[in-house]
Structure 1
């Protein structure tokens, strides 16, 4: 993802919080390839630090987390400062775990394709 509008649209989706980053995931309602974008603000550090974080996140997606992403979804990873000091294996595992936790199943009975979420019982 590169366009600002795509990043802003992803904010309307689910938010998956974690200690190193959070992920905003949006179901685009199509069967296209999953897309992802990275956001690293100036609060995290200078350009050298931000670029290093960006490279580490891209590699983590390439090596494993990309396979966990659902078709037809957009993912925006917003990095936190703590990410820079974490071993790469921990980063990759956390990213995969966070994406897997956010997986949803589309309900063919609902016109918008979302899952039925509500309470059942008395």
Structure 2
């Protein structure tokens, strides 16, 4: 998986489909085949947590938990897609196993929406 770093990549993912869970919101968008950098077929993933979710140690902890959950669900991410995980405060309080299962369910739901 590659990391999304540019604002434009985050905005493109935001135009795609969304699935909300208690601890996060998942945004996904298929990359255009005519885009430059076509050789990069790996899925892209970005993480964002707004200041409303707490001070910087809390935001960083939310981000770390989401990164770990994304790593655990890496096989579910499809190539040629960009994903953005928008963290929520509940990501701090729910058990890690539930966070991983919620993310796996959100990924499968996004791809079910896309195919129908």
Cα displacement string for residues 25-84 of structure 1 (whole angstroms, at most 9, x for unaligned residues) = 000144711110001000001010011111111111112x21101111000011111111
- Structure 1 residue runs without a partner (length 5+): 106-113, 118-122
> Counterpart in 2 of 1:2?
5
What residue number does 2:24 align with? 21
2:77 counterpart (64, 69, 80): 69
Where do residues 1-122 of structure 1 align in structure 2 (5 Å cutoff)? 1-30=4-33, 32-63=41-72, 65-104=73-112, 115=115
Structure with more relative contact order (C-alpha pairs < 8 Å, separation 6 or more): 2
3-state DSSP of counterpart to 2:101: helix
| Stretches (4+) displaced over 3 A | none
Q: CA RMSD in A?
A: 1.8
Q: TM-score, normalized by length of structure 2?
A: 0.85
Q: TM-score, normalised by structure 1?
A: 0.81
Q: Determine which structure has more spread, i.e. the larger CA radius of gyration.
A: 1
In the alignment, the residues of structure 1 paired with residue 57 and residue 95 of structure 2 have an alpha-carbon distance, to the nearest angstrom, of 18
Range 87-96 or range 30-39, more displaced: 30-39
Q: Distance in 1 between matches of 2:16 and 2:46?
A: 14
